[in-house]
Amino acid sequence: MGDIPNSRGVDLIDVAWEIIKITADHSELPDESCAQIILQLNRHLILKNCIQGWKLLTLFMCWYRPSEDLSSFVDTFLRMYTVEEYEKVNPVIEGMSSRCLELIHNAPTELLAEGETLELTREQVEMQMKRVEESCTKERDKET
């Protein structure tokens, strides 16, 4: 989440791509990866790093949905960061939280057929990141 300096020169797109690819190879990892990202977001004190984490969660949700076992927890967590629930939410974070809620409630739960592998390129993750960042910019502009 940016708390430790990045000595490998890896950017958020590389991190997201690696997490999404590794998760695709192990059926038990989507919930664990989602929970670990959320754990990093919970009460994070550095706004810049927190926004990076929300971008990562939003990207992750573009490809994965929480299982039935985890969906209630994820839904509750995301709703905590919406304006309806908490008025002091940063508008960029509120926008990404709302986007994650849209993704988990309005998209098919099974994104890959059984046995199908995820053929994902770094460019696809980068393109999705640009969409996430554009939505962040729109939310930030609403604030001013």
For residue 43, is it within any domain? yes
For residue 1, is it within any domain? no
Q: Encode pLDDT of 99-143 as tens digits.
A: 899 988 886 555 555 555 567 788 888 888 888 888 766 655 665
For residue 6, is it within any domain? no
For residue 2, is it within any domain? no
Give the predicted TM-score (pTM) of the model.
Answer: 0.79
For residue 54, is it within any domain? yes
Q: Encode pLDDT of 63-83 as tens digits.
A: 888 888 999 999 999 998 886
CATH of the domain at 70: 1.25.40.530
Domain of 50? 12-109+119-143
Number of structural domains the chain divides into: 1
> How does 1-34 read in b/e, with b if 16+ C-beta sit within 10 Å?
eeeeeeeeeeebbeebbebbbebbeeeeebbebb
The encoded tokens of residue 125 equal: 């993750």
